[in-house]
């Protein structure tokens, strides 16, 4: 139940008119009354509709960034872009890791609301998360990061992951690979689900057999587990496409430990093109995402919304991933 102006007046033992003056003409209110009413507003979490931004007594110069896992170099790069973009406009960034956990994400959103950040950038662990509207109702702008905002309630910066999945399979098929293992994380991660749509589209069009190996987390340890599953398949696929580079590096480690020759016996293709991809044991071919640019662009969109107020026009910016070919893939 949202708190009303009347609730604030009653709790602070002043008239509704005085609360309105505190919000809109604080200069005419006695300091003692001003402080008491402001304290009551903060305690009750009062947010007047449509004027929430004016509640910013100190016009907070902080934003929140919630990413799944900052130890994934992709998000390290995104976070670097966000911070550079924010610092350019004299804002500080609170960095939070959700670990793809809705519960952990919820806790961080509560903290960011309490801290009265100006805006939040995040990749929701559950796209149906209704916290975005709640934050907006409290005067906190929200920009979706690495996911597309369907509709036009918020800004978003994303990558065309369906296209990314498609060009990966088309590339491997053009190299003569028609039996491919697709190693991916949970479908609940929208980016992964969209890559899978691209994989399925290209596989159908190119008559390519796909063996899907799904892992709970998208890190290199799970990539090594996926390598064991690949080795147990009835026939060894001639190529592996992984939903991100950490999985691909783990698969590479696992297959090479089993004396499988990469790429002579099996080609490996990743996704993200993180900085370590080019310095892997066998330099990794990957579908590249402009991580730093995603971060800078998302920060710019969010802070424009924070500062332009009602004149702001939401934007959905989508980047195209690109194939980066290295030694881990070759013609069959
Ligand atoms: O969070 C998992 C993956 O989604 C990252 O590796 C990156 O590809 C992101 O888009």
In a domain, residue 331? The reply is: no
Cα–Cα dist 316/157, whole Å: 6
Q: Under DSSP, is residue 10 helix (H, G, I), strand (E, B) or coil?
A: helix
Would residue 137 count as lying in a domain? yes
Instruction: With beta carbons less than 8 A apart as the criterion, state whether 255 and 266 touch.
Output: yes
Q: What is the pLDDT of residues 213-242, one digit of tens each?
A: 999 999 999 999 999 999 999 999 999 999
Q: Are residues 69 and 153 in the same domain?
A: yes
Band of the pLDDT at 152, cuts 50, 70, 90? confident
CATH number of the CATH domain containing 309: 3.40.50.2300
Does the residue 89 lie in any domain?
A: yes
Total number of domains constituting the chain:
3
Selection from 81, 130, 122 nearest residue 294 by Cα? 81
| Pair 154, 171 in one domain | no
54 part of a folded domain:
no
User: How many angstroms separate the alpha carbon of residue 4 from the centre of ligand 1?
Assistant: 41
Same domain, 269 and 194: yes
Encode pLDDT of 124-133 as tens digits: 776 666 678 7
Same domain for 300 and 216?
A: no
| Atom from ligand 1 closest to the CA of residue 100 | 1
Q: Enumerate residues lining ligand 1, CB below 6 A.
A: 68, 72, 74, 146, 189, 191, 218, 244, 271-272
Q: Ligand 1, residue 72: give the atom nearest the CA.
A: 6
250 in the same domain as 102:
no
Residue-range definition of the domain harbouring residue 16: 5-48
Is 264 part of a structural domain of the chain?
A: yes
Asked if residue 300 and residue 213 are part of one domain, the reply reads: no
Residues 6+ apart with CB under 8 A from 65: 79, 82, 93, 94, 95, 96, 120, 121, 122, 145
Does any domain span residue 330? no
Does a cis peptide bond (omega within 30 degrees of 0) precede residue 263?
yes
149 and 245 together in one domain: no
For the stretch 158-208, pLDDT in tens is 999 999 999 999 999 999 999 999 999 998 888 999 999 999 999 999 999
Centre of ligand 1 to C-alpha 298, Å, is 16
- 219 in the same domain as 315: no
Residue 144 domain-assigned (yes or no): yes
Asked if residue 332 belongs to a domain, the reply is no
Q: Is the dihedral of CA 224, 228, 234, 235 positive or negative?
A: positive
Exposed/middle/buried for residue 273 (C-beta within 10 Å: 0-12, 13-18, 19+): buried
């Amino acid at each position: 139940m949202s708190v009303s102006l009347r609730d604030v007046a009653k709790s602070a033992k002043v008239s509704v008119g005085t609360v309105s003056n505190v919000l809109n003409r604080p200069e005419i209110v006695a300091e003692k009354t001003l402080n008491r009413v402001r304290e009551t507003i903060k305690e009750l979490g009062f947010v007047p509709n449509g004027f929430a931004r004016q509640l910013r007594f100190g016009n907070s110069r902080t934003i929140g960034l919630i990413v799944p896992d900052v130890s994934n170099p992709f998000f390290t790069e995104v976070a670097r872009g966000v911070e550079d973009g924010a610092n350019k406009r004299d804002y500080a960034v609170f960095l939070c890791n959700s670990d793809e956990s809705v519960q952990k994400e919820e806790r961080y959103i509560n903290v960011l609301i309490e801290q009265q950040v100006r805006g939040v950038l995040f990749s929701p662990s559950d796209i149906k998360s209704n916290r975005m509207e709640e934050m907006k109702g409290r005067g906190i702008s929200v920009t979706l990061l690495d996911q597309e905002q369907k509709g036009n309630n918020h800004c978003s910066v994303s990558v065309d992951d369906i296209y990314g999945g498609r060009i990966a399979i088309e590339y491997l098929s053009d190299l003569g690979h028609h039996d491919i293992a697709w190693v991916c994380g949970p479908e609940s991660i929208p980016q992964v689900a969209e890559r899978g749509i691209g994989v399925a589209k290209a596989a159908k069009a190119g008559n390519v057999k796909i063996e899907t190996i799904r892992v709970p987390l998208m890190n290199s340890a799970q990539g090594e587990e996926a390598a064991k599953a690949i080795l147990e398949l009835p026939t060894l696929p001639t190529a592996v496409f992984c939903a991100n580079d950490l999985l691909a590096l783990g698969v590479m480690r696992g297959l090479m430990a089993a004396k499988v020759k990469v790429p002579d016996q099996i080609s490996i293709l990743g996704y993200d093109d993180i900085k370590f991809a080019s310095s892997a044991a066998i330099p990794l071919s990957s579908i590249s995402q402009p991580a730093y640019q995603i971060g800078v662009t998302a920060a710019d969109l969010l802070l424009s919304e924070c500062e332009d107020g009602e004149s702001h026009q939401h934007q959905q910016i989508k980047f195209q991933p690109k194939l980066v070919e290295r030694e881990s893939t070759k013609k069959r």
